[in-house]
Structure 1
């Protein structure tokens, strides 16, 4: 048990933006600080470049003055990884900082972003989770994709290292034996696969795309919908923090709200089958991720259900975006602070 102050000192790891400012979810950081203060704890936001041998320069939020203050801090009791950019997280300085944390026996969670195809391969080896995976291949050449598209007729193309639906495309064989390519803001027709590959082949290979069979999604009032599931570590397992529905509107490529999707309360579509699916996959996903990468204190899942009632896991996100449902965000604060207390040995 730590005795030098009443509650834990939590370090929130972020990165610097191109303009020199600190990146990250400011409202989340402020909400966490307020919650921690109520638990006799304290948090500060910092970047790896500002970590010295014994101290770290960081920023703490002062609720009474409503502003951020730069201070020198001792090394925290626990680090919450919220580095928002893959490139920053993979940098030598960031990786060296994780090494320092390991040497100092300081726990940290959410160790890394997840590569979509690595995730697929991880779950494919899992006897239970593999039953919920849409068939997927890594695009390594023209022939692989041609055969995959020929077999499935309608497929999604996704960058293996992206989020929020960025870069996602759908490729369909039309009744006229042409290929139709649809993105969030693009629609193109190609007379043959050769014509398509000529235009997009280099991009698909250099940006490490995967191809995934399109699932004919169940619909609500004429539009497809997905589940957004937030999960957190609890004791030695994982628990569901909240579930929301995202529904496509102006386009049906993705249900992400920044791309025109809309929010629906889970209760509208809630069934025992959906509940059982969600409750079953969360602990298995949490344990599989932590066994493979290191401790995941939180993650979110994009999942869906087909028109025939089969459930699917589409993606898992290691740095969950803000949920628009306020009750889920509030519960997230409670869960995160519980993890902070638990991992830093301040839990009663």
Structure 2
């Protein structure tokens, strides 16, 4: 804790290629406002801003309604919001993570998650394995063809992407044809071999997983998913909020930037849904922290099949903002509570 006794939280982000600060500005401002009300401080910084004994950071001046730069001592805790996988892998970022460990400064969340690594991790858990769609790493023509034939329809997802980017669905179309649908792509191939010839370089170079297509339960004739937000609380993980995302023009993803629609959870709320959330959240949180390093928050994309079975599709280490104001408010409350809790536990 700083010499004046005020807890100091550093929010870590990255720079865009043209040098400006990236990240979720409104989130950073809301965190700062909440922390001020809790007699604490925060600042935003990038790995390039870190010197040996101090950090150049940015704080939001509510009086002047703008960001201002000043030097800060090393914070009591770092909240990792680096928004790009490439930035997180850079030498400067990795050096900073090592430096924080040396200084025994707690930080979360430690990293982005590779989709196949996540699948293997969850598959090893006796509770979570029941909620996973069948998944393989795409490695060759024959294996992928067998997988597609087994399910009739599969999703192909880059292992290192988020927000639904790069996802396509392929389905058998007649005895040998293939129908491919993406957010903006719609193609038909006369055979799987023709599909493979066009796609194999992309699938192998970028590392994709193939996942069985789950025929999703519907609301008002459209498929829906759950977006589940969770935060750590001492040695446990608790639910901060649930949003429902409904597909609209396209059925590939329910993400709002790709045309999904927001539906209040209250409209679909049930005892079974709530029990599912309470079952998976602690197990996912503890597994992530044991395997990757401390996770203070995460979100889960999950769904319900037409047959009434629950599935976990995705876990996000850097949850996007929720469009539901009450969930976003709860997120800020829980984050700031967690910051101060961790600082107290580490001091």
- TM-score computed with the length of structure 2 as normaliser: 0.98
Query: For the residues of structure 2 that align with 1:117 and 1:108, how far apart are their CA atoms?
Result: 24
2:295 — aligned with what? 296
1:91 — aligned with what? 90
2:167 — aligned with what? 168
Please list, as runs of the form range in 1=range in 2, the aligned pairs for 1:10-159 lying within 5 A after superposition: 10-159=9-158
Aligned partner of residue 344 in structure 2, secondary structure? coil
Asked if 2 retains the 8 angstrom alpha-carbon contact of 1:7 and 1:39, the reply is no
Query: For the residues of structure 2 that align with 1:153 and 1:346, how far apart are their CA atoms?
Result: 51
Query: For the residues of structure 2 that align with 1:226 and 1:175, how far apart are their CA atoms?
Result: 29
Aligned partner of residue 143 in structure 2, secondary structure? helix
Deviation at 1:176, TM superposition (A): 5.2
Aligned-residue Cα RMSD (Å) equals 1.3
Moved over 3 A (4+): none
1:283 — aligned with what? 282
Deviation at 1:316, TM superposition (A): 0.3
Once the two structures are superposed, what CA deviation does each residue of 1:134-166 show, in whole Å capped at 9, x if it has no partner? 000000111221111111110000000000100
Change (3 A) 1:137 1:40: same
For structure 1, which segment, 328-337 or 145-154, has the greater mean C-alpha deviation from structure 2 after superposition?
Answer: 145-154
Once the two structures are superposed, what CA deviation does each residue of 1:78-128 show, in whole Å capped at 9, x if it has no partner? 000000000000111100100000000000010000000000000010011
Query: For the residues of structure 1 that align with 2:2 and 2:201, how far apart are their CA atoms?
Result: 58
Query: For the residues of structure 1 that align with 2:241 and 2:2, how far apart are their CA atoms?
Result: 34
Query: For the residues of structure 2 that align with 1:267 and 1:117, how far apart are their CA atoms?
Result: 33
Asked if 2 retains the 8 angstrom alpha-carbon contact of 1:115 and 1:160, the reply is yes
2:324 — aligned with what? 325
Q: Which runs of 5+ in 2 are unaligned?
A: none
Deviation at 1:5, TM superposition (A): 2.5
Deviation at 1:175, TM superposition (A): 3.2
Once the two structures are superposed, what CA deviation does each residue of 1:306-344 show, in whole Å capped at 9, x if it has no partner? 001000000000000000000000000100100110111
Query: For the residues of structure 1 that align with 2:37 and 2:272, how far apart are their CA atoms?
Result: 39
Asked if 2 retains the 8 angstrom alpha-carbon contact of 1:228 and 1:243, the reply is yes
Query: For the residues of structure 2 that align with 1:327 and 1:276, how far apart are their CA atoms?
Result: 21
Aligned partner of residue 344 in structure 1, secondary structure? helix
Deviation at 1:3, TM superposition (A): 6.2
Paired residues, number: 347
2:225 — aligned with what? 226
